[in-house]
A and B are shown apart, each in its own frame.
Chain A
């Protein structure tokens, strides 16, 4: 779609605030009831519950969910479209992108922005105006069931990729809604758990990426179900009024997570909760009564109403301009969106192991046999089946994509259940590919069984069984390994899978995450060497579960510490199986000439990269910075920059990365503010290292 004829808005906050006067005028003319009606969803409780359980042949969010709006004043309602890996609405219409965790592995901001644009066009097509799929929760422990919905375990990465998505989404006028604010890194007990952490951890680890998303202009924020420091996030005055709207100057509106996000009218309004979603329970009549009784000041209602009207006017007007073009270019757009979904999978699938050049596979052609083992090889592997479940027109399955690449070889597809048969196939086949890992059944949003529907088991949730592969999959791997040790293991999942005990039993390991509707196409391209893998892990894979931060998934009280994931492993000097940012290629790169300097309040780092192998390929260059750690205990190193490049054979490029010094600060608890520690900082880029003094 041509952007030229639309005003380009680089600062949505400024743009929205320019509607302040207009919004105030409208609100001044509204009755209290009308203002209150702006503040809640219009679904009934039964509608939402039955849709979540898929009972009425209508899936969750099949059409956008309405909230607020004043027709007589031309203020459009919020038209909520959920997602995270694409638009949830309809069936067989919208694109299923790879899960964010894969998109995190691309380390490609531009692609994420393009995906944001594509999603926004589909939101508009679906009749929506708000995309509720910018999920930037930081997994404290990677067993968190919804880790797949975020970009990885690093705050910088979450902030950068989240901002990139927001920029894309809002470039079409669609309101980007950031969630789940905050500390929502446990699933099974998310409605009950109270999170505590110290100020420093809060400021350095769990909030910066939310702030970055707000700075990128996000127009809405959804709160989390869990409590923080004893108060539900949805009615947590400190988080909403003090930090988000106060310190960060957030100008958009805040909505509750669905149904159970708030439970106290007065507390919620006072805390700054603007919209109860997706139906009225605490707000509506209850809120009217509270205003009449004087327990809620009308000024608070006015404040929320102005925020809502201001935001909806600004975005609504823009969407009006965009809509005709979106409609006009529908077919071409859809094709382009699917191409983006494929591109993301190509960039994110990560090669973890490749002994003796097992990959790419060479055994194609007549007379050859490829055995494809594992139940997951024939399933839709889009990710969990919670609120981000998408319903794309098609999903390319692993076996289909592999079959296309085989040019005459026979493909044998087997579930892997019978060990003898695994051994037989391992003997007969020229190559063995095993698809293993997780699915919506054992990780994802926690959907409780409905007793009234037979055969509907509870699914999703945290990985309470641990981070390893399930027993039956290990048995399948063992059976094959008895015969040969050159099988290719393709891992599916939204987080680290502990493979320390299996890595020696196979020839290669590819992490495909949840690669979206075209993910298998990319996987097959990589398996057979049309394309070099180029993803890098957005998390560390530990040798054992116990190396990660401790979480009791069913606890009602949980403390998050500052060290988690790779920072914890490095702090404890525990070797992981694969460190954060790990990822192999079919070619080789050499890095040299690392330079760094401080200029304009930012750290600048340049490095030269050469493709020294025999295949053109993408790679991402990651910059880590280690603080002096004299004034305070600091992480060994933290991700502070990244850039993705494409290099032809023998080609050399110089990459520059910029990191504002703000990013290097730590929270000084005594002074209660972020402080830049003077001293010698260590700079790490791949195998290169340098130091730079910062005062």
Chain B
């Protein structure tokens, strides 16, 4: 499992978007330059976006704005998500003066800023896009584009968004955080990892804390714990390495600490976690976004689409 991803949209260079369905396990802190629209088909998950936390269940949606550091976490049981990643350029107005402004959406079913037309239309559009993507016949590429353009138009027309002009400095801070996370991930076994990172990036420990707190609303220590647990989870899940080994490479220097922070985060001891995973899941996937069985998904999407269409026809 990868711990943080810099996701680029690679599968469609002519029309910069990416659509996928995942069975979510967990995705740790990461960010990307695209808008990410998440729709829950089944199950429940917790999304953390900067310092905000959203608990999403079936039927919920959330739009993560570009360059916002976020993480996704399954709340137990299976959680099927529709994910749509849309390049910023798809949102550009013809007006060139808009270029420097970031369009910042407030689009999630758990908050009060409801689009004028409600959320259902967006949920339908998303299902439709995914459905067409999965059909993958000769014309679906055009249908997908048409649906994506309609979705964007609806977002711009009906949903709440503001535009932001940010200081270069704010972006720099975010870039710095991403670099810090990358460094931490690669040096988790170091005991003095935080002070090493400070040294490496020429910042004080105070600045480090301020950056992490300013963007994610947690302490650097909590961030580090989070990354360590995620790494341990991955190793427990996808390897047969011993807990002693895992503890070492994740930078836990006492068994007690390892158990305590693992249990705090997952509710299970490392051993229990490994047993459960192996019981539940025979499949070996190497991504946090798991591919899902297509026929099942297609019929699920079809149901959702028909639900909407029946409703609107009436």
Chain A residues with CB under 8 Å of chain B are 366-367, 371, 378, 397, 399, 403, 406, 408-415, 417-418, 420-421, 424-425
Contact = CB atoms under 8 A, between A and B. Distances in A.
B170 A424 contact: no
B101 to A, nearest CB: 7
Nearest to B115: A418
B170 to A, nearest CB: 6
A409 B167 contact: yes
Interface in B78-111: 97, 101, 104, 106, 111
B136 interface: no
A444 B169 CA distance: 43
B284 interface: no
Contacts of B169: 366, 408
Interface in B102-125: 104, 106, 111-114
9 contacts: A399-B165, A408-B167, A410-B164, A410-B166, A412-B164, A413-B162, A413-B165, A414-B163, A425-B162
Nearest to B165: A411
A418 B160 contact: yes
A410 B162 contact: no
Interface in B151-202: 160, 162-167, 169-170
B170 A410 contact: yes
Contact of A366 (B101, B106, B164, B167): B167
A448 B101 CA distance: 35
A603 to B, nearest CB: 52
Given A397-B97, A412-B163, 5 more contacts: A366-B167, A403-B165, A412-B164, A414-B163, A418-B160
A410 B167 contact: yes
A366 B164 CA distance: 15
4 closest A-B pairs by beta carbon, nearest first, are: A414-B162, A420-B112, A411-B165, A413-B163
Contacts of A413: 101, 162-165
Contacts of B97: 397
Contacts of A378: 163
A421 B167 contact: no
Contacts of A371: 162
A414 B161 CA distance: 7
Contacts of A412: 104, 162-164
B150 to A, nearest CB: 20
Contacts of A425: 162
A411 B162 CA distance: 10
B65 to A, nearest CB: 12
Contacts, number: 47
A689 B192 CA distance: 79
A472 to B, nearest CB: 13
A425 B167 CA distance: 18
Interface of B: 97, 101, 104, 106, 111-114, 160, 162-167, 169-170, 214
A527 to B, nearest CB: 15
Nearest to B161: A414
A306 B163 CA distance: 61
Contacts of A403: 165
Nearest to A409: B167
A406 B164 CA distance: 13
Given A412-B162, A414-B162, A418-B160, A424 B167 contact: no
A414 B165 CA distance: 11
**Which residue of A413, A417, A425 has the most chain B CB atoms within 10 A of its CB atom?**
A413
A548 B169 CA distance: 52
Contacts of B160: 417-418, 420-421
Contacts of A415: 162
Nearest to B112: A420
Contacts of B112: 420
A423 to B, nearest CB: 9
A215 B117 CA distance: 62
Contacts of B113: 418, 420-421, 424
Contacts of B114: 420
A371 B163 CA distance: 10
Nearest to B104: A412
A421 B170 contact: no
Given A366-B169, A410-B170, A413-B101, A421 B106 contact: yes
Nearest to A408: B167
Contacts of A421: 106, 113, 160, 162
A650 B106 CA distance: 51
Contacts of B104: 412
A262 to B, nearest CB: 43
Nearest to B106: A421
A479 to B, nearest CB: 12
A424 B113 CA distance: 9
A413 B169 CA distance: 19
A406 B165 CA distance: 10
A594 B68 CA distance: 64
Contacts of B170: 410
A67 to B, nearest CB: 38
B106 A410 contact: no
Nearest to A420: B112
Contacts of B162: 371, 412-415, 421, 425
Contacts of A399: 165
A413 B111 CA distance: 20
A79 B195 CA distance: 77
A412 B106 CA distance: 13
Nearest to B95: A378
Contacts of A424: 106, 113
A413 B206 CA distance: 32
B54 to A, nearest CB: 15
A409 B165 CA distance: 9
A418 B117 CA distance: 12
B155 to A, nearest CB: 13
A455 to B, nearest CB: 15
B166 to A, nearest CB: 5
Nearest to A399: B165
Nearest to B100: A403
Contacts of A410: 164-167, 170
**Which residue of B104, B111, B163 has the most chain A CB atoms within 10 A of its CB atom?**
B163
Nearest to A415: B162
B172 to A, nearest CB: 11
A366 B166 CA distance: 10
Contacts of B101: 413
Nearest to A411: B165
A409 B112 CA distance: 26
A361 to B, nearest CB: 16
